[in-house]
Structure 1
């Protein structure tokens, strides 16, 4: 599961770096999308999130690679569970807000056929939730495995 979480993070990092370098494919599916393309703060945010995602991918690998044993067990567990929780909360927020919008309890800023809000509800939210589940399962597996090795 850790390898899956790692690949998941590296794919997201590649998307951030692609957009930071000026790519526009898929950019209209995120909230700010093309409205802020080229603005320096947005490009900096994309670079920062890309670097954080690479760090997340390395964290997931640290749970299963021998070099990860150099990192204190408690630190790895706190980081892995923390990343998993943040991803689940982030994805859940997208899905919940989207469900409230679809139910008519929240109104869209611009009623169009397919908006970034729809992308967040039906694509990005579930995708972030999936990544969070990958991380939580990775943390759980590492916790069980490393606990068994500690008591030998």
Structure 2
């Protein structure tokens, strides 16, 4: 029997959750780990770099959510996943996939479209923050948006497979 390539979505989502969670855990523990490249407003960016307690707490929460994401993603492809209600798995996989794809496109503020508009000068940025805005838009355009697009595609592939085999 040929391998089921649709399982790649679940394993890919789990792997990307682990990568993202590891980065957030490293940030929670004090490492930079690309924290200064997060696309945020200048005020929030300063708070992030200064290790504001709210951001440190958010890194711990996101690391925990990523662990849950690994388990959910693996539940879509592993035999023990049948113990988890299918509707719950489907809802979580679809929600994660749609949110991440929307984030990569720019529906939630940053993404391919807003970054391109910022870099093209269509979206005005205060002069005192222009260099930072350009740098963060480049990082988002070249790293974060493709990462979230891939991650969202993995989640939606896992959801499609799960719906098909249910």
Q: Same fold (TM over 0.5)?
A: yes
Secondary structure in 2 matching 1:22 = coil
In the alignment, which of 36, 50, 59 is matched to residue 28 of structure 1?
36
The Cα of 1:35 is off from its aligned counterpart by 4.0
2:162 pairs with 1:142: yes
The Cα of 1:34 is off from its aligned counterpart by 5.7
In the alignment, which of 67, 90, 112 is matched to residue 131 of structure 2?
112
In the alignment, which of 147, 151, 160 is matched to residue 127 of structure 1?
147
2:92 pairs with 1:79: yes
2: CA distance between counterparts of 1:4 and 1:76?
16
Does the 8 Å contact 2:15/2:70 carry over to 1? yes
Counterpart in the other structure of 1:103? 120
Deviation >3 Å, runs of 4+: 32-35
Counterpart in the other structure of 2:5? none
Aligned length: 146
The Cα of 1:59 is off from its aligned counterpart by 0.8
Counterpart in the other structure of 1:38? 51
In the alignment, structure 1 segments of 5+ residues that lack a partner are 147-152
The Cα of 1:111 is off from its aligned counterpart by 2.6
Does the 8 Å contact 2:103/2:145 carry over to 1? yes
